Structure 1
């Protein structure tokens, strides 16, 4: 018995090069180029796709190849919640940060738990550093702008270790995106630096951001569990030749 067909929800939160991703998805998705472009133009967006795990793997690998930032659901779309309800200490953070974060699209947090929100500045812009189960976010809204903007650093791009800068208020985050090795310096109030570093390290260690595939052959009993980036593309068992049963674990 092959893997069951079902609906998968892909929450696309960012990508390095939209044009490259658009062309790649056009070759895989059963949708027209205009529909794909419209979805990418509304990031953060939700793409719902029906298929089995074997047909979904190429889509996920295309997203990963283009450094797209995603979360995935195998059963429908979870309800969107305002950040005030996702973060239990929201009312205790600085009112300026509350006002900033309320305007952020709720899809940006879809599928993630928020562990920590602290004031920070990056490239001389004041904003919020948000530590979630899947990524580090820096949110700001430059003077005169009507919309918030965000930088997302997924944990799979994060390089160890996190370093403190020459000043006690600096946290240096090393990561590799599609362009180059980045070394971003965030300035954080001294009393929050240690807890921010600890929250990031704990969230990465928990590995909630990993998307895994469980492979099972009911004929010979073979089992494996791999991250989606390293999952085998074969649909049949290499030991007995029978179809695999595969499920996505998120």
Structure 2
């Protein structure tokens, strides 16, 4: 069965079966019957972009305190510190908060009050975590192929890489550029540029590996021409951390450099 309300606090739960804990109080949820409604074929979901969704550019603007907001946590730099700080502002136990942090990417707050979301977002900003805020109703199980315009024009390898990532990774994201066959050290993968975050996806030992970073944590972009393409050096604010993405196509190389610079400037101006 799929639980409509948390057995502990009575809070309403997302009706897709993806939550392992209550986004309201943090209580672990009983294991759901694998032969129940979760195995039924779901109705096709509309693209997320057709629903009022996230504040994907800049910092969230909580205009109406009566609105409900959800928060998706996508990356963490220091799990212990983040869990400790969140446990002081979220209405759940420290253990439940740590469990939620360990599940990232995940829906960490679901249809919560603006004041609660503001407190969590302030911590995510200070900790350099990637996240998105979604206001109102939204569909948590929309396939990634429905979120990306021109998805079927991507090569099959790129599609498989995207489909192998957690669904929560793309909740509330505005896709701007998807660049296939990008080199990073000794790997080839997919570079995804969204309204708030930079993500690199690769396959390692048959499993999807991804890294997502908010633009607020990028200090500088350096272009290095190499043949017809070049290296996009991303210098992060975290001491000693940098990546050099190689893009062979000159047009795509220029597009990535321009898009990243614009995104970083946009975030910094808010």
- Length-normalised TM-score, structure 1: 0.72
Aligned positions of 1:168-247 closer than 5 A: 168-177=229-238, 180-191=239-250, 192-207=252-267
Residues 1:46 and 2:136 are matched in the alignment: no
Deviation at 1:80, TM superposition (A): 4.1
Which structure 2 residue ranges, 5 or more long, are not aligned? 1-63
Aligned positions of 1:27-42 closer than 5 A: 27-42=88-103
Residues 1:135 and 2:197 are matched in the alignment: yes
Aligned positions of 1:1-250 closer than 5 A: 4-48=65-109, 50-53=112-115, 55-119=116-180, 120-142=182-204, 144-146=205-207, 148-164=208-224, 168-177=229-238, 180-191=239-250, 192-207=252-267
- CA deviations on 1:155-207 (whole Å, 9 max, x unpaired) are 11222343225564311112213xx1432101112232112222323444554
2-structure distance, mates of 1:170, 1:93:
22
Q: Secondary structure at the match of 2:149?
A: coil
2-structure distance, mates of 1:37, 1:9:
18
- The two structures, once aligned, show a CA RMSD in angstroms of 2.4
Deviation at 1:79, TM superposition (A): 4.2
| Conservation of the 8 A alpha-carbon contact between 2:199 and 2:210 | yes
Which structure 1 residue ranges, 5 or more long, are not aligned? 211-225, 228-250
- CA deviations on 1:20-68 (whole Å, 9 max, x unpaired) are 1111111111101222122122211012253343x44332222222221
1-structure distance, mates of 2:67, 2:73:
19
Relative to its length, the structure with more strand (as a share) is 1
2-structure distance, mates of 1:42, 1:170:
33
Instruction: Call closer, same or farther: CA 1:32–1:104 in 2, change over 3 Å.
Output: same
Count the aligned residue pairs.
203
Q: Secondary structure at the match of 2:68?
A: strand
Instruction: Call closer, same or farther: CA 1:7–1:152 in 2, change over 3 Å.
Output: same
